[in-house]
Structure 1
Amino acid sequence: MCFDRSFPPTFVTEVARSLEAGGAQQLWVIEDCFFTTGPSLAAAALTVTEQLTVGVGILPAVARTAPVTAMEIATLCGLAPGRVLPGVGHGVQEWMAQMGVRPVSPLTALEEVMVAVTRLLAGEQVTSRGHYVNLDAVRLDQPPADPPPVLAGVFGPKSLALAGRVAGGVVLAEPASPSYVRWALEQAGRRPGDPDFHVAVFGVVCVKKDRAEAYRTMAPWLGRQLDQPRTTLTTLPFFDDLAARYADKGLDGLATMPAEWWTELAPVGTLDDAAAHLQGLEDAGVRSIGMYPIPDVEVARTQLADVVELARG
């Protein structure tokens, strides 16, 4: 399950305990400016659980210095060895500009940060003279004994190619379909199932007994995605037909589009439909799946049972 950025921090421990008690494997906490911080939420979730893995999606590369990012990750690993999956990405550039840290070259900045953080977590002493990362004999006092893969939270071709070179995997934002996963791995120069490249994806979950009700519920969400489509959608084999349907029929067209399109896009529909989507992701090489509930605490509480049921399946 994903912990929506709008949720109050106190809710994270309840979610973490419920997921672990139900047998789910992971919780992904979200860091977006200017909501709540990923490492703080992750620490809270890790300290109230014993088996749950907590992913952090994502830490903006330039919001912290590379050593501080490495320290955050190492501290989480010290709290819960083997149960941390950290993601680092460009961050939304408008937010970076608001904070006065927007890089001239986001690609260069991300590569320098990813390399430095990975080396520091490996226990190396790092000296670096880059455009954005300048370090003088920096070494972590308590690097993790078994460093986690540092995942790149990216979506464009150039960034995915960078991830394939320097990251331990990727975090692919919603809606991450099997089609998009295959395309992303191709851009990264990686093959599905590569043991050295961890693929994590996000999706939005909506499970109903009547799949038509689920489609009606999620049509406005999909419409917002289509208003400004990214590669997460444009790589779909049926994207042109989907866009034309939306332009012609609006939200009604999305609510009544073929069921197999919804199954490709997200864990939306019946429980069996959602399970089929997750199986498709796993077949495409995905190892971690985070599902966003409806961004309302009371609704999310009811959806915890759906996430647990899907995890058990």
Structure 2
Amino acid sequence: MCFDRTFPASLVVDLARRLDAGADQLWVIEDCFYTAGASLAASALAVSERLTVGIGILPAVARTAAVTAMEIATLCALAPGRVLPGIGHGVQSWMGQMGVRPESPLTALEEVMDAVRRLLDGERVTVHGTYVTLDDVQLHHPPADVPPLLAGVRGPKSMALAGRVAGGVVLAEPASPTYVRWALDQAGRPDQFHTAVFSVLCVERERRAAYTIMAPWLASLLDNPTVGITTLPFYQELIERYRQHGNEGLASMPAEWWTEIAPIGTMDDAIEHVSALEAAGVDSIGLFPAPDVEIAMSQVEDVLEIAAR
């Protein structure tokens, strides 16, 4: 399950405890200027015993590479084997607000990923790059069990970069099985590559009820389509349907389209979507609940049921 960026920080403790009963993972979200990923992750790890906590994602240039490595190493020391860290470009307008927007986000991410990985591996690192400068830096407590360092990226150039320098990827919602296969192809399908995805979750007794609830969400994606949408095999039909019939056209579109896009519909539909993601090569799935806290907490039972399938 994902911890929505708008949730109050204290909620992560209750959510982690409840998920620890049967779910595999909790993904905390670091978006500027909401809550911080490392502190949320530490809080969740401290109150759970088996839950893996993923961080999606730490913006590459928001911290120095050394501090990012220190944060990850500290979390790994607190909960060995239960940390999945992600680093990405970050939203560039947010980086600009903080005065750290790089001229080349690709170069910045590659330099940061390389430096953080080397530090986590226990190396003594000296590097003078465009965005990363380290002079004889070595972590005093590198992780005994180094986690895969995931790249939170989207486009083809960034996916190719992830295939070269990362231990896996974090794919933002909507992450259909088709999009997963496309992303892994762009990354070159390297060995030992951990693939994590985010999906929005909406389970109702009747499919149409779930589709009606989520039609505005899908409409917002179609208004500003990303590669996660444009790679859908029925994208042209979908966009034409939306242009002609609006949200009602989305709510009434074929069930198999919804099941391809996300775990939306009945519980059987949600399980079918998750199974299709796993068949496409996905290792970790973070399910986004509703942004309303009360509804989100009721969806914990749905997440536990999917995890126990």
Q: TM-score, normalised by structure 2?
A: 0.99
| Superposed displacement of residue 133, structure 1 | 0.4
**Within 5 A, what are the aligned runs for 1:78-93?**
78-93=77-92
Tell me how many residue pairs correspond in the alignment. Answer: 309
Counterpart check, 1:16 vs 2:16: yes
Match for 1:280 among 259, 264, 276? Answer: 276
Q: Alignment partner of 1:264: what SS?
A: helix
1: CA distance between counterparts of 2:51 and 2:139? 25
> Which AA in structure 2 matches 1:10?
S
Task: Using the TM superposition, give the Cα deviation of residue 277 of structure 1 relative to its aligned residue in structure 2, in angstroms.
Answer: 0.2
Listed as ranges, the matches of 1:1-313 within 5 Å are 1-21=1-21, 23-190=22-189, 194=191, 196-313=192-309
* One-letter amino acid of the structure 2 residue matched with residue 206 of structure 1: C
Unaligned runs of 5+ residues in structure 2 are none
- Distance in 1, matches of 2:9 and 2:292, equals 13
CA distance in structure 1 between the aligned counterparts of 2:145 and 2:124, rounded to whole angstroms: 17
Identity %: 69
User: SS in structure 1 opposite 2:299?
Assistant: helix
How far residue 155 of structure 1 moved from its aligned partner, in angstroms, is 0.4
SS of the aligned residue for 1:46 comes to helix
Distance in 1 (CA, whole Å) between partners of 2:182 and 2:282 is 13
Q: Report deviation, 1:245.
A: 0.4
Structure 1 residues 59-99: Cα deviation after superposition (integer angstroms, max 9, x where no partner): 00000000000000000001000000000000000000000
Name the CA distance, whole Å, in 2 between partners of 1:263 and 1:237: 13
The letter of the residue matching 1:273 is D
State the 1:237 CA deviation.
Answer: 0.6
- Measured in 2, the distance between the counterparts of 1:231 and 1:100 equals 28
Amino acid of the residue matched to residue 282 of structure 1? E
**Superposed displacement of residue 129, structure 1:** 1.1
Q: Match for 1:30: what amino acid?
A: I
CA–CA separation in structure 2 for the residues paired with 1:87 and 1:301: 25
Task: State the Cα deviation string for residues 4-27 of structure 1 (Å, max 9, x = none).
Answer: 000000100100000011x10000
Task: Provide the rounded CA distance (Å) in 2 between the counterparts of 1:70 and 1:254.
Answer: 44
Counterpart CA distance in 1 for 2:99 and 2:257 is 41
Distance 2:33 2:201 in 1: 24
1:191-233 residue CA offsets vs partner (Å, 9 max, x unmatched):
6xx4x10000000000001011000000000000100000000
Partner AA of 2:124 in structure 1? Q
Distance in 1 (alpha carbons) for counterparts of 2:168 and 2:229: 21
Q: Deviations over 1:263-311 (max 9, x none)?
A: 0000000000000000000000000000000001100111000011001
| Aligned-partner SS, 1:101 | coil
CA distance in structure 2 between the partners assigned to 1:257 and 1:244 by the alignment:
12
Q: CA RMSD in A?
A: 0.5
**For the residues of structure 2 that align with 1:295 and 1:102, how far apart are their CA atoms?**
29
